[in-house]
């Protein structure tokens, strides 16, 4: 049995009280906080930078923070996110001039490194760097926005990524991001994912009457 982890994407949280939102998802069973960084260049949207990650750490959040960098070029921001308290830094191969170097840069700071695959990006980018990744993230939507529908072709890609991980014998996490929720998570798990990002499915289901206000939805996942 795989070690499944739920990673709420705070892109869909209420930013006016972000610290409380993160505390609440952790209290409701979240394992990892997924932190989406968008630059209005690599993707057509603008979100948050390292100072927000640092603010969450200063607020007392100790859960792993998984920084998904949708920025180009990526290298000059890697150190800033690690200094700000990132536990994982993942990036898109298209956003790095030298993928191997960016992966090594992340690990050299004692952080876990990951590569992210857009729906049309081939897994062959892993061919020579499998021993340098701690996480493979399969995008099941095109990056840039929360609330999109899951692209079914991601299931085949997850199966292929799972084959590669099992063949490598390495402890690499297989994460999926986009359109994931209680209705499709079982099928996605069967395709090989072990780490599930969910933004709108979790934050739209907040129950303000419940002190563990995200229990209902995280409990179903
Ligand atoms: C999209 C982001 C996702 C997004 C997922 O570019 O990487 O993490 O927040 O949102 P949902 O779960 O709503 O598809
Ligand atoms: Zn993401």
User: Residue 137 Cα, ligand 2 centroid: separation in angstroms?
Assistant: 9
36 among known catalytic residues:
yes
Ligand 2 ion: Cβ-proximal residues, 5 Å cutoff: 36, 68, 177
pLDDT of residue 56 exceeding 80, the answer is: yes
CATH class for domain 5-220? Answer: alpha beta
Average pLDDT, the chain: 97
User: Residue 70 Cα, ligand 1 centroid: separation in angstroms?
Assistant: 12
User: Residue 207 Cα, ligand 2 centroid: separation in angstroms?
Assistant: 23
Instruction: Using the structure block, give the residue that is written with the tokens 């830094």.
Output: 89
Strand order of the β-sheet with 88-91 is 5-8, 195-198, 173-177, 135-139, 112-117, 88-91, 65-70, 33-38
Q: Say yes or no: ipTM exceeds 0.85.
A: yes
Confidence of residue 210 (pLDDT cuts 50, 70, 90): confident
pLDDT of residue 211 exceeding 90, the answer is: no
Catalytic residue among 24, 36, 66, 134: 36
pLDDT of residue 209 exceeding 90, the answer is: no
Q: What distance in Å separates the CA atoms of residue 193 and residue 143, rounded to the nearest whole number?
A: 18
Q: List the residue whose alpha carbon is closest to atom 6 of ligand 1.
A: 143
Model pTM? 0.98
Residues placed in the known binding site = 9, 34, 36, 68, 144-147, 177-179, 199-200
**pLDDT, tens digit, for every residue of 138-153?**
999 999 999 999 999 9
Q: What distance in Å separates the CA atoms of residue 109 and residue 107, rounded to the nearest whole number?
A: 5
Q: Is 85 exposed, middle or buried (0-12, 13-18, 19+ CB in 10 A)?
A: buried
Identify the nearest ligand to the CA of 199 by its number. Answer: 1
Q: Going along 25-130, which residue ranges are E strands? A: 33-38, 65-70, 88-91, 112-117
**DSSP state at residue 216:** H
Cα diameter, the chain: 50
Q: Is 8 in the pocket of ligand 1 (CB under 6 A)?
A: no
CB atoms within 10 A of CB 169: 7
* pLDDT computed for residue 208 by the predictor: 83
* pLDDT computed for residue 76 by the predictor: 94
Which of the listed residues 66, 135, 146 should we mutate to test ligand 1's pocket, taking the one with most ligand atoms within 8 A of CB? 146
Confidence of residue 3 (pLDDT cuts 50, 70, 90): very high
The CA-to-CA distance between both ends of the chain, in Å, stands at 16
* pLDDT computed for residue 207 by the predictor: 87
State what percent of residues in the chain have pLDDT above 90.
Answer: 95
pLDDT of residue 1 exceeding 80, the answer is: no
């Amino acid at each position: 049995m795989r070690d499944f982890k739920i990673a709420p994407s705070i892109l869909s949280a209420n930013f006016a009280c972000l610290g409380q939102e993160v505390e609440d998802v952790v209290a409701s069973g979240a394992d990892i906080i997924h932190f989406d960084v968008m630059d209005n260049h690599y993707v057509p949207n603008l979100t948050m930078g390292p100072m927000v990650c640092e603010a969450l750490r200063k607020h007392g959040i100790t859960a792993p923070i998984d920084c998904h960098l949708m920025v180009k070029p990526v290298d000059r921001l890697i150190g800033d996110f690690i200094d700000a308290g990132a536990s994982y830094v993942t990036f898109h191969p298209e956003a790095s001039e030298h993928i191997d170097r960016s992966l090594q840069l992340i690990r050299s700071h004692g952080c876990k490194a990951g590569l992210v695959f857009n729906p049309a990006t081939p897994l062959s980018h892993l061919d020579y760097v499998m021993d340098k990744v701690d996480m493979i993230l399969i995008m099941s939507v095109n990056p840039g926005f929360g609330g999109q529908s899951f692209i079914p072709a991601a299931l085949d890609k997850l199966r292929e990524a799972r084959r590669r991980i099992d063949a490598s014998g390495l402890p690499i996490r297989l994460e999926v991001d986009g359109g994931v929720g209680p209705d499709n998570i079982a099928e996605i798990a069967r395709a090989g994912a072990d780490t599930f990002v969910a933004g709108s499915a979790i934050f739209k289901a907040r129950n303000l009457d419940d002190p563990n206000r995200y229990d209902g939805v995280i409990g179903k996942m």
